[in-house]
Structure 1
Amino acid sequence: MARVPLPGTQHVLRAGEYEASVASVGASLRSLRVRGRDLVVPFACDEVRPAYRGATLVPWPNRVVDGTYAFGGTEYRLPLTEPERGHALHGLGAWLDYKVVGKDADRVSLEGVIQPQAGYPWRVRVRTTYALGADGLSQTVTATNESVDPVPFGTGPHPYLVAGTGTVDDWTLELPAADLLQVTPDRLIPTGVAPAASVDADRFDYRTARRIGTAEIDHAYTGLIRDAAGDATVRLTDGSGRGVAMVWDAACPWVQVHTADLPDHGAGHRAGLAVEPMTCAPDAFNAGEYPYDAGLTVIEPGASVTAGWRIAALD
């Protein structure tokens, strides 16, 4: 029997000057390059994926505070997968081994099933397609409720974008978002939404492109400023003006941004900027506890929902 690499089966996609590698575990984007230049922080083809780097986050992105929530009049408790903060982090699909349901030279479709389990007693089928083209790498995620009851759901990706040479400190960020989700400094528990400029403009407001410098960010944004097509675009560039863009539509009214600050300054510290478009806010499973629209999706039995995003080079 052929040995399967630690991140799962590798699917290499090519189109024009782009090349991407998708790992089956977590339907994870392992690498994305254009003319040999990294657009995301990669990981090796035979190492356990570092944390959630490149993973597809389902059936919720970000955190469920304390791992507890109520839905349909019943209270649920999830395993705490972020023990240092005491939360359930980034869903249940990050270590699921997705199976191929379609593949070509420039695209792959993967499918996995979230089985009913403690804390999430519903069955959800997840299909995701990665496709390379002249405009970069797109990913769509479609979730179908195969349960007899409605299910709470959210999704998003977890790439760490790379502008070029240097680190996060050296890069210029354009982030078209007016509002910031404020959180507690220790456990990142949401406390409210406020204009980013009024909270701390130097640290959080990037509506006008500027250098990130030493700013530390691990926050969700909303109030996205969109173009005529309804898309929001984050641009990250280095000193030469080249870089990477991430684009998403109205399916994702939130985006988490993280400057990849590691407490021990170890490998990966500020090596990429996590940009995570999300269909819902952090802790959206507890949406009723907040005075703003957390964007929780409820999928009816037999129904499906879809979200998507795209990563492209800037030259």
Structure 2
Amino acid sequence: MTTPRSGRQLRIAAHGYEAVIASVGASLRVLRCEGRDLVVPFEADEVRPGYRGTTLAPWPNRIVDGRYEFDGVEHQLALTEPARGQALHGLLSWAEFSDRLVLDDRVVLAAVIEPQTGYPFRVEVETEYRLDEDGLQQTVTARNLGTDAAPWGTGPHPYLVAGAGRVDDWTLALSASEVLTVTDDRLSPVAVKPVDSHPQWDFRAQRLIGDVFIDHAFTGLSRTDGIAEVRLTSGDRGVALSWDERCPWVQIHTADNPGQDGIHRIGLAVEPMTCPPDAFNSAVDLVVLEPGDEHSAAWRIRAL
């Protein structure tokens, strides 16, 4: 039997939820509740569109120019976003993950980042997807298998779907008081600013997204019992993504692809992150894994 282009298909189901995980990139290919899509899906035998649903590691978002210095050594990564000259979303998005556990409501997959040009560290990445009555939780755990300290960051890349229509038609609640501004051409980080000075990106009071363009990281997150949450709604239905303090940042992207009607603003990317864009250079909230260390982060998607 020929393996689909997106890899082996691992289906889990429980409590009215169904998820399909594709082994390439440990990607969340499908998530439904009572038959309703909560994320933008893609076909099993399709090359995954961009980073839709993938697991981001060992960094989320961008490293500017693909260059950084760590422990006194300069490193140059491949520029995987060539139009902007950036190293985008880590090293595992096209890697084949192996199965560690497959149950009806839970799967665990793993891959190893081998030492390579630009990232000469050996880090094992394990991810668990688990369904329960509160939706789908993903947990990503990194283990430093090498002999040197390694820089680390992670996050997911789902495109949430509130209901019928497109991003413009949905309302967003995002309790973030600060936004990381970026350059127009390359989306390189500039400065953290209060959303009060950029009201187009202030969604602390739930409101219609409309035609606002968003491809920014937010912080200064308001939390309840340590949990931050994004809520995306259409009428009386919607979807929520929540996470704890291990992710002090979240990237929001309106999936703008002008001229490509099939993918233009069809879902809202919501990406909790352990660190901001270009953290390998700024060191802001950067996790440093010492030899033998582990680090875990988790997030949850549920129907509203």
Please classify the TM superposition score into its range, dividing by the shorter chain length. over 0.9
> How far apart, CA to CA, are the structure 1 residues paired with 2:44 and 2:192?
40
Partner of 1:230: 226
> How far apart, CA to CA, are the structure 2 residues paired with 1:166 and 1:19?
22
Partner of 1:68: 67
SS of the equivalent of 2:65 reads helix
Q: Which shows bigger deviation, 116-125 or 259-268?
A: 259-268
> How far apart, CA to CA, are the structure 1 residues paired with 2:249 and 2:273?
5
Deviation, structure 1 residue 265: 3.1
TM-score by length of 2: 0.99
1:272 to 261, 267, 283: 267
> What per-residue deviation string (whole Å, max 9, x for no partner) do you get for residues 80-113 of structure 1?
0000000000000001100000111001000100
Partner of 1:153: 152
Q: Does 1:306 align with 2:302?
A: no
SS of the equivalent of 2:280 reads helix
Partner of 1:217: 214
> What per-residue deviation string (whole Å, max 9, x for no partner) do you get for residues 291-310 of structure 1?
xxx21110000010000000
Partner of 1:193: 192
Partner of 1:93: 92
> How far apart, CA to CA, are the structure 2 residues paired with 1:267 and 1:66?
30
Which residue identity does 2:188 align to in structure 1? I
Pairing of 1:254-293 with structure 2 (within 5 A): 254-288=249-283
> How far apart, CA to CA, are the structure 2 residues paired with 1:112 and 1:266?
35
> What per-residue deviation string (whole Å, max 9, x for no partner) do you get for residues 21-54 of structure 1?
0000000000100111000000001101000000
2:286 to 296, 301, 312: 296
> How far apart, CA to CA, are the structure 2 residues paired with 1:20 and 1:179?
33
Deviation, structure 1 residue 134: 0.5
Pairing of 1:62-141 with structure 2 (within 5 A): 62-141=61-140
> How far apart, CA to CA, are the structure 2 residues paired with 1:236 and 1:263?
22
Aligned structure 1 segments of 4 or more residues deviating by more than 6 angstroms: none
> How far apart, CA to CA, are the structure 1 residues paired with 2:157 and 2:192?
22
> What per-residue deviation string (whole Å, max 9, x for no partner) do you get for residues 148-173 of structure 1?
01000000000000000111000000
> How far apart, CA to CA, are the structure 2 residues paired with 1:280 and 1:20?
27
> How far apart, CA to CA, are the structure 1 residues paired with 2:294 and 2:12?
27
SS of the equivalent of 2:25 reads coil
> How far apart, CA to CA, are the structure 2 residues paired with 1:120 and 1:166?
41
> How far apart, CA to CA, are the structure 2 residues paired with 1:267 and 1:302?
45
SS of the equivalent of 1:285 reads helix
Q: Does 1:182 align with 2:177?
A: no
Q: Aligned Cα RMSD in Å?
A: 0.7
Deviation, structure 1 residue 266: 3.4
Count of paired positions: 304
> How far apart, CA to CA, are the structure 2 residues paired with 1:265 and 1:96?
27
> How far apart, CA to CA, are the structure 1 residues paired with 2:160 and 2:24?
20
Which residue identity does 1:62 align to in structure 2? N
Q: Which runs of 5+ in 2 are unaligned?
A: none
Deviation, structure 1 residue 263: 3.2
> What per-residue deviation string (whole Å, max 9, x for no partner) do you get for residues 182-224 of structure 1?
11111111111010121x21x2000000000000000000000
> How far apart, CA to CA, are the structure 1 residues paired with 2:9 and 2:261?
26
> How far apart, CA to CA, are the structure 1 residues paired with 2:257 and 2:290?
40
Partner of 1:291: none
Partner of 1:205: 202
